[in-house]
Amino acid sequence: MPAWLITVCGWAQAEVVTVNTSSDVVDFGGAQRVENLPGPDGRVSLAEAGLASDNTPGVQTIGFAVPQNEWEYQWLFPGRVVLRPFLGFRVFQTAIIDATTQTEFTGDTYTDGGEVVIWQETYIIDNVGGEMRGFDNSSIHISGGSGNILQNNTATGIEIYDSQFNLIGGALLGDGNTGGTIKIDRASNNVVAGNTYARVRVLGWFGGGQPATGNRIGGPTEGERNYITGYGTFSGEGCPGGTTVQIFDSIDTIIEGNWIGTTPDGMSQGSDASTTGIGFEGENYGALIVNNRIAGILARGYDHCRGQIYGTGITLYGTGGGFVIQGNTIGLNALGEPALGSVTGINSYDYYLGAVRNVLIGGAGPGEGNEIAGHLSSGMEILNPLSGIHISGNSIHDNTTLGIDLVPANFVRGVTPNDNMDGDSGGNGLQNFPVIGEALSNGSSVAVSGTFNSLPGRSYSLEFFANTVCDGTGHGEGEIFLGQTRLTTDGAGNASFSAMLQGAAAPGEFLSATATDDSIGDTSEFSACVIVEAGGGVDCGAVRKLKVGCRDGKLVAKVVSSLPESTTLTILRNGGDEKTLTINARGKGKVKWTGQSGTQAVAIIECSEVPEQTTMCL
């Protein structure tokens, strides 16, 4: 249980110290505890309240009731009391610092935020279960300690250093903070939820033994969503630069359910200078990026950078790996329109100390695929020498160039042709793509066949996608995921495939495919498009054929030509699960189902899972 939950029970017994002057004076004596207040002037300043809280056992609450006749700097902060403690404000023992008490005292005099401004840095040092709420235009630093809560602060910068289990914001209405930057520095197990900020940074230091571990930005509920609207600056030459969510030297960071790069309504670009939505730098392991809306990351230079355009939704840079990127939309506004794209949706490129590996982008299960659309260049770009970027089950469409671009060492963008036995090198090893021979649709499923060449004796997963249009290069993107099949290449690196895809693609649409090396996770570019034609099956030529259909509610398989002693047919269902029908030479068979875990169990194929009659190649 986080420490901040444990300490709440003690708050009711805390003494209350009320700040009732804006002057920065310390004139009380004795042990300088709460019992020694006030001093000779009869008033309690913020500095005195902090000293008294530190010197008095227990958890104190510092409240505010400063009369309006002492409010200075109204030309700068109208409707707010401004406190200017010399060299900043510090509390070393746990305290509850509650500026909402000033609002209770004088009313809501500033409708855009809190009524108390601390016009110097505030340091909460080694507090366990402390709290700071209701401030405006302040700068809050938590150092050491754990389990502190920062809520309902406006236009306020927040920094957490070497501290853990702190809650910044919350899931309930009014819990969230607003401001410029939230920075988590060499701190672990913190939660940032329900806030509206321009930027969030999670920074560790592996070299010093202080990686940022287990921090969460956002959460699974709408109330935990952060609106991170975009950060960037222009150089003196007019070049933009800035990362909206920056992750450096981290372990097991979670970025979930946020809107990143847009205004809070999700309809407009939040910053004209932000060039990266989520950026990984340094050394990172085990990041989970799920169910975020990342859009509006597009910056244009001026002066010496005039005519240059910058922007990437997610940048994978540095070393490490073990990332999972699922369920995100990249480039789409709140209406689901591809109107807020970047230059590239996801960019993965080399770092001089190594490269990120073992990254899963999407997945074949429900809700795992990302939607990546509306970008001025490619949907995804993998540069040399990165490897192990597994791309699966995504909806990639309406991008100006390729859906997936694997870039060779010479940095030439565009379709990379297949080569015999896949001996070339570049991003994802320039993995070869499948060659689709034919795609026939009967309205409820698509029969597809073709050939594939890559490394010999390897297992590959092929994924198939429907597209309303074909890319100008003649190669597909991947708008609608239809399903997948697996194959193994022979000694010459060759294999053929024939599969029934249980996803709809209308005649006149286009089919494309990718291939992934199962052993290392390298995924190819999209194949050339093949137009989907009407038909009930595949022309198998001289090879063996099997007709699958329904009769009286039962699955029926009829051998059209002779079979070997035993033949296995793979039937795919939308979502990636497989059913295999094994037929012996006498035409009798057994069905097995393979789920995402890879386990098998005997099952029955329902008639609804196959077309009325389908011819398949064996």
Domain ranges, ordered by start, for the chain: 1-205, 236-376, 439-534, 545-617
Judge whether residue 1 has pLDDT over 60. no
Contact 435, 413 (CB under 8 A): no
The residue that leads in pLDDT, 209 or 10, is 209
Beta-sheet pairing, 312-316 with 533-534: unpaired
What mean pLDDT comes out for the span 268-285?
Answer: 96
Q: How confident is the model at residue 377 (pLDDT cuts 50, 70, 90)?
A: very high
* Bridging pattern class, strands 344-348 and 380-382: parallel
Are the C-beta atoms of 600 and 561 separated by less than 8 Å? no
The whole-model pTM stands at 0.85
Rounded Cα gap, residues 591 and 607, in angstroms: 13
Neighbour tally for 560: CB within 10 Å: 13
DSSP structural state of residue 13: G
What span, in angstroms and rounded, lies between the C-alpha atoms of 139 and 86? 15
What the block records as the tokens of 369 is 């695929």
Identify whether the C-beta of residue 473 lies closer than 8 Å to the C-beta of residue 413: no
State how far Cα 337 lies from the chain centre: 19
The pLDDT, as a whole number, for residue 385 is 81
**What is the average per-residue pLDDT within 549-571?**
44
Residue 452 CB neighbours (<10 A): 23
* Cβ–Cβ < 8 Å for 526, 465: yes
CA–CA separation, 147 and 143 (whole Å): 12
Q: Which residues are CB-neighbours of 599 under 8 A, at least 6 positions away? A: none
- Label residue 155 left, alpha or beta by phi (over 0 means left) and psi (-120 to 50 means alpha): left
**Distance, CA of 327 to CA of 362 (rounded, Å):** 7
Alpha-carbon distance 356 to 248, whole Å?
13
Average pLDDT of the chain, as a whole number: 86
Residues 6+ apart with CB under 8 A from 17: 34, 37, 44, 49, 52, 53, 60, 61, 62, 63
> What are the E-state strand segments in 92-170?
95-98, 116-118, 121-125, 131-133, 139-143, 149-151, 157-161, 167-169
For residue 456, what pLDDT band results from cuts at 50, 70 and 90? very high
pLDDT at 442: 83
pLDDT level of residue 14 (50, 70, 90 thresholds): low
Instruction: Please check whether residue 433 is in contact with residue 405, taking contact to mean a CB–CB distance below 8 angstroms.
Output: no
Rounded Cα–Cα distance for residues 229 and 269 (Å): 8
- Mean pLDDT confidence for 143-167: 98
- The pair of structure tokens assigned to 176 is 């969230």
| Nearest in space to 357 (alpha carbons), one of 522, 518, 202, 215 | 522
d(CA 402, CA 550) in angstroms, rounded, equals: 40
Rounded CA gap, 48 and 41, in Å?
Answer: 12
Q: Which of 4, 404, 337, 6 is nearest to 167 (CA)?
A: 4
pLDDT band at 568 (very low <50, low <70, confident <90, very high): very low
Rg, the chain, Cα only:
30
Distance CA 164, CA 603 (A): 49
Pick the closest to residue 380 from 363, 354, 362, 368 (CA basis).
362
Instruction: Give dist(CA 465, CA 479) in Å, integer.
Output: 6
Give pLDDT tens digits for 71-111.
Answer: 999 999 999 999 999 989 999 999 999 999 999 999 999 99
DSSP 5: H
Spatial contact of 244 and 277, defined as CB atoms under 8 Å apart: yes
Write the pLDDT tens digit of every residue in 280-313. Answer: 999 999 999 999 999 999 999 999 899 899 999 9
* Cα 479–chain centre separation: 20
| 243: nearest Cα among 261, 256, 220 | 261
Taking a C-beta distance cutoff of 8 angstroms, is the pair 266, 334 a contact? Answer: yes
For 312-366, how does the pLDDT look when each residue is reduced to its tens digit (9 = 90+)?
Answer: 999 999 999 999 999 999 999 999 999 999 999 999 877 666 788 899 999 999 9
The Cα–Cα gap between 500 and 525 comes to 22
Contacts of 56 by beta carbon, 8 Å cutoff, 6+ apart: 15, 33, 34, 35
* Residue 100 DSSP one-character state: H
CA 144, CA 126: separation in Å to the nearest integer?
A: 5
DSSP string, 306-357: TT-EE-EEEEE-SEEEEEEEES-EES--TTS-S-S--SEEEEE--BTTB-EE
Distance CA 131, CA 120 (A): 18
Third-level CATH fold of 439-534: Immunoglobulin-like (2.60.40)
What percentage of residues in the chain have a pLDDT greater than 90?
76
Q: How confident is the model at residue 39 (pLDDT cuts 50, 70, 90)?
A: very high
Cβ neighbours, 10 Å, residue 237: 11
CB 72 within 8 A of CB 22: yes
Alpha carbon distance 163, 234 (integer Å): 33
Tracing tokens 């137009």 back to the chain, one arrives at 531
User: With the C-alpha atoms ordered 37, 40, 44, 49, is the resulting torsion angle positive or negative?
Assistant: negative
352 vs 283, 318, 385, 409, CA distance in Å? Answer: 12, 8, 11, 14
Q: How many residues does the chain have?
A: 618
Token digits of residue 124: 């909460």
pLDDT at 579: 47
Q: Residue 213: helix, strand or coil by DSSP? A: strand
Sheet with 530-531, edge to edge strand ranges: 480-488, 459-467, 510-517, 530-531
Query: CA-CA-CA-CA torsion for 554, 555, 556, 560, nearest 10 degrees?
Result: 160
pLDDT digit string (tens) for 116-142?
A: 999 999 999 999 999 999 999 999 999
